[in-house]
Structure 1
Amino acid sequence: MNEQFSVRLRKAVHVFCAGHFITLADDLCEPVHGHNWTAGVDVDGPPDAHGMVVDFIRLRDLLSGIVARLDKAAEDSRIKAVLLVIESPGVGRARADDIRAAIGRIRKAGKPVAAHFVGSSPVHYSLAAACDTISMPPAATLELTGVRAEMMFFKSMLDRLGVAAEILQVGEFKGAGEPLTRSSMSPQLRAQYESFVGDLYEQLVEGVAADRSLPLPRVRELVDVGVFTPEAARAANLIDAVGYEDEALTALAARIKAEEPKVARDYAKRKVDDDFSGLGGLVKLVELLSGQRQDAPGGRNRRIAVVHLTGEIREGKSSDDLLGGGAAGAETVIEAIRGAAQDEQVAAIVLRIDSPGGSALASDLIWREAQRTKKPVVASLSDIAASGGYYVAVAADRIVASPGTLTGSIGVVGGKIAVGGALEKVGVHTDVVSKGRNVGWLSMQEPFKDHEREAFLATMKDVYRLFTGKVAEGRKLEAAAVEKLAEGRVFTGRMAKEAGLVDRLGTLDDAIDEARQLAGIATEEEVDRILLPEPRGLFDDLFGDASGGEGRLARLVVG
């Protein structure tokens, strides 16, 4: 589920969506050649939940920072309306919910929000549908095509190559290994896919119906049509107007009765962050490359620490590749949780989890660090928090998920790929000298022997017992009740709430509110939000941790 992306850098750093903030005040921008300055920010891909990769530079332009900018627009008396230009933000359902909530707060403040929607997937349309009005350019396309899950199966190919996939599972529905061991979905895997895909479809239909004031049967008909020209979308009441961005701006200005509106470019974003000119820019560039530029909040306000756990969970340190993917290393995440727990100004911790799982050991170590802290801990589940991601979440005092979060998957899958047959086909022969009955149990040269398979499965069953036990403890459920929810079953956030696996449906801000309440912080008290772990620099990503190589090699040799 990792999304790969690239972002082009022009005059300003690109963010996930553009917002033109219209105001009648004179101090937000200056006229240029007799016209007010207007600007749009092109977007080509998703933001990392913790940062963005822009031309190989790690910048602290955070998703939560975008929400904060929208919230500032809601509170700023100079801002009269907002034009949100949505191009191709690669956000999932949970992150879209964060933005939708921020849009809702602007509208609640009595300020019109118009969306100029270039067109993309149903998730992106949901951002536009949260606004008062939607316009599209004439050549765009609206895709409202439903929900689809695909899985490719490689068993026949592996058989032809002489490769044996030895994948074991604990949990009837824990089918992550099926693409390597089957030619199609098992009935159990298909049943659970139909379950969560069906719920995501219902959420899509219900959301469009509510946002656009359409009957549910009519929305189902429109989803079956799927692809719309702008004129067809307007005729179906999916959008309000067909036109260009400047026309959308003119229409919004007329709505607030502003003949010559001033437009704030990159409202609430510090211009210095986009300026790499001169000696100061060079120093800043070096800081960004090395990961040293933190811009942590100062002052004496109490703090909420938001600890991001993003990507596959593994042992060691976190890593980011140059396309924005990466892994959540237990060492890095534990250090962040421990640092927040020891910081006297931090009143509570929010674990922001966006992970499909990974190493059982790493997940357990992170769980322990979160569970042992004496400060309130709230888990905020993003687009996916399944398997090891949910394992970590049950350490929290409260769990908040988006309705569209994919979570659960309480089960264990593991095994090995035996390539000895493939090597024999190309003339590679292997001789072995060994002592010890099970010393070759993880060898990639041959499949498991029966006693090796039994030993491996026994370790997996023990991990499953730990997993279900921690769910029972954290969620205060009987073991029998957990077993009915386990076996590898995947839930949407909405389904998980009904099953008792999460406490509340909501956004990251809702999770932070929960943390405030648990910490006894009054609603009117101002708090600072700090984001952890600190972002890595380009040098770290390119060359890694020079001190970590020996440890990794040693583990490989011992293993």
Structure 2
Amino acid sequence: MREFFKYVFATVVGVVISMALFLIFFIVLIVGVVKSSLKEDKVNVASNSVLFLNLDQAITERTSEDPLSKLPVVGSEEDKSIGFNDVIHALKEAKTDDNIKCVYINVSAPHAGFATMLEIRNALIDFKKSKKKVIAYSEVYTQGAYYLASVADKIYLNPEGALEFKGLKSETMFFKGALDKLGIEAQIVRVGNYKSAVEPFFTDKMSDKNREQVTAYLNGLYETFLEGISQSRNISAATLHQIADDYKIQQPADAIAFKMIDGLKYKDEIIDELKSLSGTDKKKDLKTVTINEYARNVTDEPDKSAKNKVAVIYANGDIMGGEGSDTKIGSERISRVIRKARLDSSIKAIVLRVNSPGGSALASDVIWREIVLTKKVKPVIASFGDVAASGGYYIGCAADSIFVQPNTITGSIGVFGVIPNLQKFYNEKLGITFDGVKTGKYADIMSTDRPMTAGERLIIQNDVNRVYDAFTIRVANGRKKSKAYIDSIAGGRVWVGTDAVRIGLADRIGSFNDAVVSAAKKAKIKDYSVIEYPEMLDPFKSLMDNTTDKVKTYYAKQELGANYSIYEQIKSVISRSGIQARMPFDFKVQ
């Protein structure tokens, strides 16, 4: 028996020591990766180089170097990202860089919204003014990929590849049937017939109002999509519409026949063409520099000592109370930097860059208040990205001027709350019951183990009405419109940028840089430095905070595959609390 326990003890000690050594090795590896990522030197751009636009990575609001993306197993190509503005700055620099001879676009499925892709398309069009060529090649072009690639002087497709061109679609997943099976009732309180974020929980199909707004905004996006390709490829928008409608691009040869591409080539042939364009001997290796590397060369630290500055404040992601993160808008963090910029006398104007579907109505109002106070002492210009809807619109509506892209999704001025009734689920599915005592009639209001009473529903509805009333008043004051007019275009309805300008929810169609120039002009300054807020989170802190989530996400994606998006939706719904000012759906470019 003693020998048995000695063996067991030795085994346990061995396992503990092994785990400790592994943990130490893992921490050393992580620290090493972080340190190396922070010390990345600028790259040497050789003469006769090709600028490689690897656009299948995530194109975000700001470039954030994620140390975990460099770790084995956890990191992957999908984890790479670059800020859209760094891409634009890099292309502007490459335009006059004698070492860069041409641009090579490789893209199959970009991780970016339509407005972001439009910013990059316009930067490529500007680059072409240098008379340097832009070549695009891919084995497969999704519609988003083709939208980006269509600006190229030459578009090539693998002879056995595919070009997707079939029109856009918007699809909503409805959970009512599943909730019914589980015995869960979603108790809905909302204002706005178009506020369809709650529809998946109490119906099994789109309402007429929702179908109306989705049809309008999807057609608006499609129109901008076709117009861009039409101008680049010299094919009428009507012809492009017909090509998509009849699904005429079924084989690679069809793409040639309808002049959607310029040729079918293999990668070795593309390399030869790039060598020719860059003046490289065919017997030598092609010299390339990725957009990520080149952007590091271009991006300089802002002159914080400059007499005149324009502050760009990024509000990116869902809106919530607290600090948030680089991908979540925390009301405390964002309102603090707005206040800081307001009190800094060297900052003469502010650009609020919004890319958000909304979130907490209360958190949105906290940020809105700081914008109102700031506008009294210096210009505030809002620049809306892919999405600035509901709470995202709320925080920007007080700006002096609002810039949108024609395919920005905005509006969605509405409010809702969802209180689940889990009584049947607990009682009939799990055999769980609840009982208790209370000192007041409404002490257990918002309880999820029973249905709401008529009195409770009235209280919650009045609260939602109050928030909606405040929301529309904020918009009316900011847009200098009557509340009655805002009510007529609100109700939760979503608009595309061109329509937003037409109805007065925005002022101008323009890029992010147009907004920066406008801010400086309104502040009456010519020489200025652009400084960005909030400061990116410390990589070490971010690493410690997100390592577990990153690993879980990686394995969830491996297990769920294409169904991971469903998991994300359910997780997002569960995590919401309080009255929401949120866009009624998520939109992804396919």
Shorter-normalised TM-score: what interval? 0.7 to 0.9
Residue of structure 2 in register with 1:475 after alignment = 479
Q: CA deviation at 1:85?
A: 2.6
Of 43-52 and 484-493, deviating more is: 43-52
Alignment RMSD (CA, Å): 3.0
Q: Using the alignment, how far apart are the partners of 1:245 and 1:344 within structure 2?
A: 55
Residue 195 (str. 1) matches residue 207 (str. 2): no
Residue of structure 1 in register with 2:75 after alignment = none
SS where residue 60 of structure 2 aligns?
Answer: coil
Asked whether the 8 Å contact 1:308–1:533 carries over to 2, the reply is no
Q: Using the alignment, how far apart are the partners of 2:447 and 2:65 within structure 1?
A: 37
Asked whether the 8 Å contact 1:403–1:492 carries over to 2, the reply is yes
Asked whether the 8 Å contact 1:304–1:529 carries over to 2, the reply is yes
Q: 1:380 aligns with which of 383, 407, 422?
A: 383
Asked whether the 8 Å contact 2:194–2:213 carries over to 1, the reply is yes
Q: CA deviation at 1:255?
A: 5.5
Residue by residue over 1:167-212, the C-alpha shift from the partner in whole angstroms, topping out at 9 and shown as x without a partner, is 1110111111010011111111111111111222222222222221
Q: How does 1:496-535 map to 2 (within 5 A)?
A: 496-522=500-526, 525=527, 527-535=529-537
Q: Residues 495 and 41 from structure 1, CA distance in 2 versus in 1: closer, same or farther, beyond 3 angstroms?
A: closer
Residue type of the alignment partner of 2:425 = A
Q: 2:289 aligns with which of 265, 285, 289?
A: 265
Residue type of the alignment partner of 1:484 = S
Residue of structure 2 in register with 1:354 after alignment = 355
Q: 1:314 aligns with which of 314, 320, 345?
A: 320
Q: CA deviation at 1:534?
A: 2.3
Q: Residues 455 and 383 from structure 1, CA distance in 2 versus in 1: closer, same or farther, beyond 3 angstroms?
A: same
Asked whether the 8 Å contact 2:50–2:103 carries over to 1, the reply is no
Report which of the two has the higher share of helix. Answer: 2
Residue 410 (str. 1) matches residue 416 (str. 2): no
Asked whether the 8 Å contact 2:68–2:543 carries over to 1, the reply is no
Q: Residues 483 and 124 from structure 1, CA distance in 2 versus in 1: closer, same or farther, beyond 3 angstroms?
A: same
Residue type of the alignment partner of 1:304 = V
Residue of structure 2 in register with 1:105 after alignment = 126
Residue of structure 1 in register with 2:558 after alignment = none
Residue of structure 1 in register with 2:265 after alignment = 243
Q: Residues 181 and 271 from structure 1, CA distance in 2 versus in 1: closer, same or farther, beyond 3 angstroms?
A: closer
Asked whether the 8 Å contact 2:420–2:448 carries over to 1, the reply is yes
Q: CA deviation at 1:264?
A: 4.6
Q: How does 1:297-446 map to 2 (within 5 A)?
A: 297-298=303-304, 300=306, 302-319=308-325, 326-373=327-374, 374-425=377-428, 426-446=430-450
Identical positions, percent: 32
Residue type of the alignment partner of 2:537 = P
Residue 489 (str. 1) matches residue 513 (str. 2): no
Q: CA deviation at 1:442?
A: 1.0
SS where residue 137 of structure 1 aligns?
Answer: strand
> What's the TM-score once normalised by structure 2's chain length?
0.76
Q: Residues 159 and 538 from structure 1, CA distance in 2 versus in 1: closer, same or farther, beyond 3 angstroms?
A: farther
Asked whether the 8 Å contact 1:119–1:125 carries over to 2, the reply is no
SS where residue 177 of structure 1 aligns?
Answer: helix
Of 71-80 and 297-306, deviating more is: 297-306
Of 451-460 and 210-219, deviating more is: 210-219
Residue type of the alignment partner of 2:289 = R
Asked whether the 8 Å contact 2:134–2:153 carries over to 1, the reply is yes
Of 308-317 and 60-69, deviating more is: 60-69
SS where residue 445 of structure 1 aligns?
Answer: coil
**Structure 2 alignment gaps of length 5 or more:** 1-32, 38-42, 70-78, 547-576, 578-590
Q: CA deviation at 1:63?
A: 2.5
Asked whether the 8 Å contact 1:49–1:310 carries over to 2, the reply is yes
Q: CA deviation at 1:386?
A: 0.6
Residue type of the alignment partner of 2:366 = L
**Structure 1 alignment gaps of length 5 or more:** 1-8, 14-20, 22-26, 31-35, 274-293, 321-325, 545-555
Q: CA deviation at 1:120?
A: 3.4
SS where residue 183 of structure 1 aligns?
Answer: coil
Q: Using the alignment, how far apart are the partners of 1:245 and 1:304 within structure 2?
A: 44
Q: CA deviation at 1:317?
A: 1.0
State which structure, 1 or 2, has the greater radius of gyration over its C-alpha atoms. 2
Asked whether the 8 Å contact 2:310–2:528 carries over to 1, the reply is no
Residue type of the alignment partner of 2:204 = S
Residue by residue over 1:496-550, the C-alpha shift from the partner in whole angstroms, topping out at 9 and shown as x without a partner, is 111111111122112212212112123xx35334343423535346448xxxxxx
Asked whether the 8 Å contact 2:154–2:262 carries over to 1, the reply is yes
Asked whether the 8 Å contact 1:353–1:381 carries over to 2, the reply is yes
Residue type of the alignment partner of 1:314 = M
Q: 1:29 aligns with which of 22, 25, 46?
A: 46
Asked whether the 8 Å contact 1:70–1:102 carries over to 2, the reply is yes
Q: How does 1:135-154 map to 2 (within 5 A)?
A: 135-154=156-175
Q: Using the alignment, how far apart are the partners of 1:51 and 1:396 within structure 2?
A: 25
> What's the TM-score once normalised by structure 1's chain length?
0.80
Q: Residues 156 and 268 from structure 1, CA distance in 2 versus in 1: closer, same or farther, beyond 3 angstroms?
A: closer
Equivalent residues, number: 491
Q: Using the alignment, how far apart are the partners of 1:113 and 1:73 within structure 2?
A: 12
Q: 1:206 aligns with which of 227, 252, 256?
A: 227
